[in-house]
Amino acid sequence: MSEVKIGIITLSASDNCGSLLQAYSLQEYIKKEYDADVKIINLITKESEKLYALIPKPFYKYPRKFLFCLRYYFLNKQQKDDYKRYRERKLQLTSKIYSNKEELSTIDRDYNFDIIIAGSDQIWNIGMTDFSECFYLPIETRAKKISYAASLGGMSVIPEQKVDIIKRYVSEFSMLSVREKMGAITLSSITDREVS
């Protein structure tokens, strides 16, 4: 029997300890427990690039924020380089970088995953600055879609204009689990599905 190929889509582009540690932990757990070939989908959106820029563009308009960034530029650059090194050494990222859902739609051709896991972290928090619909896997794929401890960021109400689109994306998942009880209630109410 051939090895199962599992992809993970999460906030792996975040310069954030928690995001990187949860990505690494899930990757390692799946490798160990299921003896699977695991890759983290290298998703770097324009939103995440803006958010984690050394000097975010909006700061140019505010002298105090701009000067603060300049004052700590080398310290922040060192920290950013450390995050980059951690990704390179610890995360088994896909060699192809995806930045939007159009690029992500080639995932079957590129990697032919059997399963794609969305999670964990706040990937379904539509209020995040670096939120992307890519975390809902809005693509046609032969892979089974599973959410694992995906967080809506404590959101109890999804904006009306987003309900239909989220319902459509989530309905394509074989299994649904979220981090918070409120997230499970919220998704259950719009999908009529059990969400653990």
- Each residue's pLDDT tens digit, 6-31: 999 999 999 999 999 999 999 999 99
What is the helix (H) or strand (E) element at residue 16, kind and residue range? none
Q: Residue 7's pLDDT is what?
A: 98
* CA–CA dist 173, 144 (Å, integer): 7
Q: Which residues contact 131 (CB under 8 A, 6 or more apart)?
A: 47, 125
132-181: per-residue pLDDT in tens? 999 999 999 999 999 999 999 977 778 888 899 999 999 999 999 999 99
Mean pLDDT of 103-129: 96
Distance CA 40, CA 162 (A): 27
The pLDDT tens digits of the residues spanning 96-109 come to 999 999 999 999 99
Q: Which amino acid is at 140?
A: E
Residue 1 confidence (pLDDT): 56
pLDDT interval class at 58 (50, 70, 90): confident
What pLDDT score was predicted for residue 157?
79
Q: For residues 52-59, give the mean pLDDT.
A: 89
Helix (H, G, I), strand (E, B) or coil at 140: coil
- Is residue 57 scored above 90 in pLDDT? no
This prediction has a pTM of 0.94
* Residue 184 pLDDT > 60: yes
Q: According to the model, what pLDDT value does residue 84 have?
A: 97
Amino acid at 104: L
Q: Which two tokens stand for residue 29?
A: 């757990």
Average pLDDT over the chain reads 94
**Nearest Cα residue to 48 out of 90, 7, 6, 15:** 15
pLDDT at 82 over 90: yes
Residue 174 C-alpha from the chain's centroid: 18
114 has pLDDT over 90: yes
CA dihedral 140, 101, 120, 128 (to 10 degrees): -140
User: Residue 77: is it exposed, middle or buried by C-beta count within 10 angstroms (0-12/13-18/19+)?
Assistant: exposed
pLDDT tens digits for range 172-182? 999 999 999 99
d(C-alpha 141, C-alpha 116), whole Å: 9
Is the peptide bond preceding residue 120 cis, with omega within 30 degrees of 0?
yes
